[in-house]
Amino acid sequence: GQAGSAPFPGTAGTGQAIFFQAPLGFSTTAAIRTMSDLLNSCGYYVEYADTEALPEPFPSLPVRYRYRLMQALDSSENLLVYQSPKSADGLSGQTWVSGASAVPLAENVIYLLAWPRRSPADDPQGTALTDSGDFSYNSRENADADPQPVTAHQMPPVIQLTMVVLDEASAARICLSATPPEEVDSALKDLFETPGEDAFKQDLKTLQDRLAAANLSCQVFSAMIAIRESKME
C-alpha cells in the first residue's frame, strides 16, 4: 500500500493532509460500479474557502466563508498512483488524487493532525516514525534503498487523528472574508512541528489557551486508529 501524511500545499496553517488507497469501489463508469472492491485514492485535509468554491450542489448554499474538513476521492478508472512508482511525491494530492472532486464533511474544523505512530503501548513517548523527525510520513520515501526502511510501502501501525473545531458562533464572528482570520493563524503559529507525547499535549494546551484568549470556543476530538494491514515491526 501507499500512504502519506504531510502539510498540504494551499492549506497552510490548517494542519496535515492524509492520502492513501482503499478498496472503496467508487467509479464514474456505470459498467464497473458493481465491482465493490475497486481501488481508490482518498484524501482528507482542511481548507478555508467560501461556499462558491464547493462542487455541486453545495454552491446553492448561502455564500459564507468557513474552515471545512474536505474529502477528496478519485474514481478507480483514474487511479494514478502506479504511474510514477519511483516518485517520492505522493503527499501533495497532485499525484494521487489529481482528478478527484473534494466534498466537505464538516465545517469549522480549523486544524487536522494525522500523526503516524507506533502503538502507544510499544512507544508511549510517540517518537517519529521516519528520519524526517516530524509528523510527516511517506511510504515511498527511500523505498528504492537497499536495505529498505521499515516504512517502505507500509501503512503506519497507528494513526492518531486530532481535529480542533470551532463552535459556529465563534466561526461566524471571525470568518468574514477570503483571508483566513488572523485569530486562527496566530493561535496555530509554531505549533505541532515536532512529534512526541509531551510536546503534543503542550502544543494542544497552548492552542486551546490562545483560542480562549481570543474569545473563541473550540472542541478537540482525538482518536487512535489501528491499521491492521500494517506489517511494520
More confident site: 191 or 78 = 191
Q: Cα–Cα distances in Å, from 193 out to 4, 22, 146, 173?
A: 17, 28, 29, 28
Q: Does residue 59 have a cis bond before it (omega within 30 degrees)?
A: no
pLDDT at 97: 62
pLDDT at 9: 44
pLDDT for 85 beyond 60:
no
Average pLDDT in the 82-104 region?
58
Residue with cell 465563534: 170
133 SS3 class: coil
pLDDT tens by residue, 128-161: 888 788 888 888 888 888 898 888 888 899 999 9
List the grid coordinates of 146: 537497499
Q: Kindly report the backbone phi and psi dihedral angles of residue 174, in degrees, each rounded to the nearest multiple of 5, phi listed first.
A: -115, -20
Do 205 and 164 contact (CB within 8 A), yes or no?
A: no
Residue with cell 502503538: 119
- pTM, 2 dp: 0.84
Alpha-carbon distance of 64 to 70, in angstroms, equals: 16
pLDDT tens by residue, 24-75: 888 888 878 778 788 888 889 999 988 877 777 666 777 789 999 999 888 8
List the grid coordinates of 39: 481501488
